[in-house]
Structure 1
């Protein structure tokens, strides 16, 4: 575990001890938006020359009466942690908002639905060049991008999915799909699951998916979440990636291996 991972784990543990809900996540996202637009304020809240208690006190004075005491407590935990930069601190605060939203979804029995909807949305953006370009464009305003995504999913998804999709537009992980991927990894980690990224030439039916999941659970030695991508270019067979392990048995891969062997003769 890296020092950064250890710091995140310590902060996660601290925030998990606070009684939060979906409303807390919404308040934290509002604070993130405020800090994104106030460089001096975010520098003050992450100033390494100030004591952790002083930074938490500043956050409490600034936010008192504007958000709940619970949200202030979470912000206090975040700003007391050491950060390499003000922007990293804001990203850390948003990360806690995402985790709180996912925990609220899990408590309501909707986490699996949210994961499936987020994955489907990321694939939609990935497969639509115009939509992806619009969400990447620096010339397109953030609120315009959020409106674009909101229209795409309006009335079709769980409220937490809509909330997290709106946050992902900010693309702190470089692109919208990569940011969604980071959310899905958080959800899997929280549920003690591994993510199996699967590519097939044709959609699997329910029985095929169930058999595949059972085999992967046995292979991974624990719970597995399936992320299935249909790509006709693989021709046939299946490709599975779990963590750094890739299991490749597609026709396209075998043809590519044959081509490489011929080249090297």
Structure 2
């Protein structure tokens, strides 16, 4: 994302933060998120509209009037005001605008849960569901088959998660199926998890281990990683017996691998076997 888009995002982020801080709990934030998801879908489906709203030669006031004309009666005033603010800025690309609207929708949805101390649970549930889908070929093919009706696939997600996960988790999993925007399901979920972690000013660490970590081990690992990275860390734990022992930690592009399997592989390479 280039300079002009970054400036637009920064201004929009301030406006979003003000809106969600004044929202009437999780329901108010969820309503804003629904509006933003819908607006993003409308923009994704219309090349001409995206171009009109990101045209640097077009007057900001005219773009704002276009937004209000199109959205009044179809979205809430808060969402409309937020979009008017976004299109008043210069954007480096059309995609930057639609990516930002998706990002803000995810943030809005999670912000209500964050205020109710449920954000950790949403992160855990969303990550676990993505791993379940990734580990089950039939389920992975069903969820990711873009030739199949998206509403039917979203209904399948509802069946799998409703009553077993937080409402925000269900909604994000549905959205990943309904509007992948050219990405695989796992990539969409990873992007959502990144948005949530960034909003919460923390890092997400994927921890692969042969056996699950108990509460004490998790606390110690979080404390150690927080000291290393000088930022709060959220753990997403993957159980994989093939690692043999120890743990592998992935944070962004960095990998800290202390597993026996890794050491054995290193020894095999060293001795050329």
Aligned residue number for residue 183 of structure 2: 174
Counterparts of 1:42 and 1:238, CA distance in 2: 46
Counterparts of 1:37 and 1:245, CA distance in 2: 36
- Any stretches of 5+ residues in structure 2 without a counterpart? 24-28
SS of the residue aligned with 1:17? helix
Confirm whether residue 130 of structure 1 aligns to residue 130 of structure 2: no
1:79-135 per-residue CA deviation (whole Å, 9 max, x = no partner) reads 233334444432321221111112222122211111111111111111122222233
Counterparts of 2:32 and 2:228, CA distance in 1: 38
2:167 pairs with 132, 137, 159, which one? 159
RMSD over aligned Cα, in angstroms? 2.3
CA contact (8 A) 1:153 1:162 kept: yes
TM-score by length of 2: 0.87
Q: Displacement of 1:173 after TM fit? A: 6.7
Counterparts of 1:52 and 1:263, CA distance in 2: 65
1:223 pairs with 207, 210, 232, which one? 232
Confirm whether residue 12 of structure 1 aligns to residue 37 of structure 2: no
- Relative to structure 2, which stretch is displaced further, 18-27 or 62-71? 18-27
Residues 78 and 6 of structure 1: CA distance in aligned 2, closer, same or farther (over 3 Å): closer
Q: Displacement of 1:6 after TM fit? A: 5.3
Counterparts of 1:84 and 1:145, CA distance in 2: 34
Aligned residue number for residue 192 of structure 1: 201
1:105 pairs with 107, 110, 113, which one? 113
- Any stretches of 5+ residues in structure 1 without a counterpart? none
Residues 17 and 229 of structure 1: CA distance in aligned 2, closer, same or farther (over 3 Å): same
1:18-38 per-residue CA deviation (whole Å, 9 max, x = no partner) reads 345221111111222333333
Which protein, 1 or 2, shows the higher relative CO under an 8 Å CA cutoff with sep ≥ 6? 2
Q: Displacement of 1:152 after TM fit? A: 1.4
Counterparts of 1:7 and 1:258, CA distance in 2: 51
Residues 87 and 188 of structure 1: CA distance in aligned 2, closer, same or farther (over 3 Å): closer
Aligned residue number for residue 54 of structure 2: 46
Q: Displacement of 1:200 after TM fit? A: 0.2
Residues 52 and 263 of structure 1: CA distance in aligned 2, closer, same or farther (over 3 Å): farther
TM-score by length of 1: 0.89
